Amino acid sequence: MNLKMYARANGTFGVRNRIAVIPTVACANHVAEQIAAAVETADAYCHPYGCDQLGKDLDLSFNCLKLMGTHPNNGAVLVLGLGCEEILPHDLYEAIKAEQPMTELLVMQEYGGSTRSIERGIEICRQFEKELALQERVDADISNLTIGLECGGSDFSSGIASNPSLGEFTAHLCAAGGKAVFGETTELMGAEEILRNHASSQEVFDFINSRIKAVEQVALDMHVDLRGTQPSPGNIEGGLSTIEEKSLGGVMKIGREKIVDAIPFGAKATRPGVTYVDTPGNDLACSLGLACAGAQIIIFTTGRGTPMGFASSPVYKVTANAFIAGIMAENFDLDLSDIIEGDMTIRQGGEKLWEDILRVAEGKETAAERLGHREFSLYRVSPILT
Amino acid sequence: MKRAMILSDTDNVATLLDDICEGETAVLIDAEKAEIGRIRVLNDIRRGHKTAIRAIRAGEQIVKYGQVIGGASRDIVTGELVHTHNLESLRGRGDRA
């Protein structure tokens, strides 16, 4: 099955043709924002970090920014550095440029202060925009499509309607040869038996299980009851009493598919089918992990309602909660509340999702994109120590 | 008609799909929405929250989706609201560590 996507130099295909303005450090955030604000197809990948990081934490941040620069949805990149930070601007520029020829570098301490840097950055991005406008979509096999499966602001409706519909979607995607990625390790706590049945090998299950245990250990080491954080106060108010209940509803999103691979945060999915990525439950961190794994689109089910998008990838919002589908209608792409309130079946929900996602892949804007939600942050694996 | 959904044969709780008041009767439906019974509830229960479909002893497992979602922290009677006041998680219990 073919879809019309943008071809990239590194052999990947994108569903969008955007310009990434990537600040290496928090000090360059404001300049990055001002540059991106002036150019319609540019997104600023702002984050509070880039300095006072070391070891694995520093490596992960560098790697994630590199993966954002080389993400298939980006057709051009401006790396924006300050000049004295640990995420070395020249190194990041070289790493991205090796795969994405349309990459430029601007280092404020070499070029000039805020105003000059903003002006020059806008000039660079406007030139990028002209060149990108000449590019056209080409036929690409669906095996080049990776879809992120995510849930956030979950409530009772997530586990009985929207996630099972997502599971049906995943079946369509895998049957066609596409890839799906999911994570939210904390929200697999309690679903181990289901994961064991779905894992394609003992190795896959053992990796996932070890990550779940590691997250559980965090709560144990802190001597706090996880409940109230996971599930959150909103989840609890929405009917989810325990993390086990939340997880069992969440895992519905992979449907009956086998989990063919299990990878750490910052790694890419390579096999067709469903891959587990070790991301936290935190929505923004999860989106980053799934996008780094290659997700060109993220399908996001929510019961309580969240408007969040993501810088590199269109986020497609689904709910089966009739109340929130009304109150926050502008933030949703698909309302599946008829599964609970009416006669819609989960199979029908999955089909609607499948048809619409193919349209999104070929250019249909999601609500989050239309509203300008392009959130971003890095995922830290150690606290600020230095 | 007030509905409460049971997701699997071995579940001992049902999830309300409609707000229900103390004393009212809910129709129990399965995941395909076929009617499988009725239950009279003993509390006001909001949409999305759970009711016990049989008596559950303190310490007994609470089952939804055919899987354990936690343990009863006290005795629960049929028709009673099941939530954080009488259902405790068995995972992430750093408060017990």
Are B89 and A193 a contacting pair at CB < 8 A? no
Question: A142-370, what's its fold?
Answer: Rossmann fold (3.40.50)
pLDDT digits (tens, 9 = 90+) for A110-157: 999 999 999 999 999 999 999 999 999 999 999 999 999 999 999 999
CATH number at residue B17: 2.30.130.110
In 3D space, the residue among A359, A386, A379, A197 whose CA is nearest the CA of residue A288 turns out to be A379
Cα–Cα distance, A212 to A219 (Å, whole number): 12
pTM of the model: 0.95
Task: Establish if B19 belongs to a structural domain.
Answer: yes
- Kindly indicate the confidence band of residue A313, based on its pLDDT and cuts at 50, 70 and 90: very high
ipTM over 0.85: yes
- Kindly indicate the confidence band of residue A336, based on its pLDDT and cuts at 50, 70 and 90: very high
> Quick one: residue A13, left, alpha or beta (phi over 0 = left, psi -120 to 50 = alpha)?
beta
Task: Establish if B14 belongs to a structural domain.
Answer: yes
**If you write DSSP's letter for every residue of B61-94 in order, what string do you get?**
EEEETTEEEEEESS-B-TT-EESTTTEE-SSSBT
Same fold, A18-134 and A142-370: yes
Can you tell me the mean pLDDT for A25-32? 97
Cα–Cα distance, A19 to A41 (Å, whole number): 6
pLDDT digits (tens, 9 = 90+) for B54-97: 999 999 999 999 999 999 999 999 999 999 999 999 999 999 88
* Amino acid B32: pLDDT: 87
Instruction: Please answer whether residues A79 and A92 qualify as being in contact, where contact means their C-beta atoms are separated by less than 8 angstroms.
Output: yes
Mean pLDDT of chain A, nearest integer: 96
Are B64 and A245 a contacting pair at CB < 8 A? yes
| Number of domains composing chain B | 1
Where in the sequence is the domain holding B18, given as residue range(s)? 3-88
Shortest Cα–Cα distance, B82 to chain A (Å): 8
Query: At the top level of CATH, which class does the domain A18-134 belong to?
Result: alpha beta
Task: Establish if B20 belongs to a structural domain.
Answer: yes
* Amino acid A385: pLDDT: 75
How large a percentage of chain A has pLDDT more than 70?
100
Shortest Cα–Cα distance, B91 to chain A (Å): 7
Chain B residues closer than 8 Å to A242 by CB: 69-70, 87-91
Task: Establish if B94 belongs to a structural domain.
Answer: no
Instruction: Please answer whether residues A236 and A149 qualify as being in contact, where contact means their C-beta atoms are separated by less than 8 angstroms.
Output: no
**φ, ψ for residue A182 (rounded to 5)?**
-140, 160
Task: Establish if B17 belongs to a structural domain.
Answer: yes
Domain ranges of chain A: 18-134, 142-370
Cα–Cα distance, B16 to B8 (Å, whole number): 15
- The number of C-alpha atoms within 13 Å of B60 and in the hemisphere containing its C-beta is 16
* Amino acid A40: pLDDT: 97
Judged on CB neighbours under 10 Å (0-12, 13-18, 19+), A195 is: buried
Task: Establish if B69 belongs to a structural domain.
Answer: yes
